Amino acid sequence: MARIKSFDLFSVDLPFKKPFKHAAADRSTSNSILLKCTLESGNTGFGECLPREYVTGETRDGAFALLKDRILPHLIGMEFNALEPVKSYLTACDGKAPAEWVSPGTPQTAAWTAVDLALLDAFGREFREPVRIGPAGGPAPAFRYSAVFSADRGLRALKTLLKIRIYGIRQAKLKVEDEAPEQTARLARLVLGNGCDIRVDANMAWDVPRAVAAMKRLAGYGIRSFEQPLPADDIAGLARLIRETGLGVMADESLSDRESLDRLIENRASTAVNVRISKCGGLMAALNRCRRALEAGLIVQIGCQVGETSLLSAAQLILITAVGRVTYGEGCFGRLLLREDPVLPLMQFGYGGKPPSLPSGFGLGIQVNESVLNRYCNSTWRS
């Protein structure tokens, strides 16, 4: 048996090379949490989460306190005799702490993500197994990452779009605000060309009348997919957009746990979903969300939170490999976004959005440089 001995929490602000802006936030650092799990054998594993109040209802300080006070103390002393029981335990938890620890209605899926990944990484190292939840190998040969275009304008926007074109990216997502979305779409189509699959993310910026009008106008630029055009709780409005426009609606902030996905499916309020490990409660819960979405006939995008390190990017590649039928992927930005990534190997997409290879080591296959982590750490806690 391998037993959990202790945990270390790190509240971290990894700086970006340039600010990233969209309708719901404007940030220049990761605003993240990393969690270190130490087993009695001395083996360690790391997890990561990026709490966003507008996504899961969690602030970073709130998630930090929830982990420190109500979740991690229960995990100390827990033991497993192999990696498979760890996966089974996390699958049963389905992205949330046991109900006797934390009420299921308490926002917690970001916090639990750090637990999920740290346990998989630590016990994978302990039992000398790589974390795999599906077929061996890597993503499907045709899979490519999309570029994500910050809600910029003017010369800065033009420069970014030219970089995307030169780098051979053939899928791109435009972050748009309430003002002038057509201007952004027109410029993007002009620079990226007709062969680029362009979609739009409004990050809850519109109401139903504005969304209907904007979607119909933007469809004139060949855009057929619109991510989270309405506030997260307007499920009836999302369903209405699908009926009235005949265009695709992708749920993002409206999706975090099993109940939210079931609500979207039952109300026919989305044609696609953006599944992000860091908002869905970890790798095992994200796999559950993807499988349920595909069963319901939805398009699956596996996305990321802005500012993820190569730790979450490695976990994302494991998920993409397991799911298989992934239409869009966002992530693996590495040092394209972060000034410094504390995780090796660097997980960063290449020319044309080509994904990196899956790390080959045990656990998640990554190593965290704690000296780099501590350089950007603003708060720590040790059990």
Give the dihedral sign, CA 74/80/83/84: negative
The residue-averaged pLDDT of 375-381 equals 96
Q: What is the pLDDT of residues 117-175, one digit of tens each?
A: 999 999 999 999 999 998 878 888 899 999 998 767 778 889 989 999 999 999 999 99
For tokens 């090379």, what's the residue? Answer: 17
pLDDT at position 149, please?
Answer: 84
Banded model confidence at residue 25, pLDDT cuts 50, 70, 90 = low
Q: What is the pTM of this model?
A: 0.95
Calpha distance 207→229 (Å, rounded) = 8
pLDDT at position 21, please?
Answer: 62
pLDDT at position 24, please?
Answer: 53
The residue-averaged pLDDT of 341-349 equals 97
Q: What is the pLDDT of residues 70-98, one digit of tens each?
A: 999 999 999 999 999 999 999 999 999 99
The residue-averaged pLDDT of 264-290 equals 98
Q: Has residue 344 got a pLDDT over 90?
A: yes
User: By the 8 A CB rule, do 328 and 301 touch?
Assistant: yes
Calpha distance 35→309 (Å, rounded) = 13
User: By the 8 A CB rule, do 293 and 319 touch?
Assistant: no
Banded model confidence at residue 52, pLDDT cuts 50, 70, 90 = very high
For tokens 């991690």, what's the residue? Answer: 72
Q: E strands of 134-266, at which residues?
A: 147-149, 171-175, 197-201, 225-227, 248-251
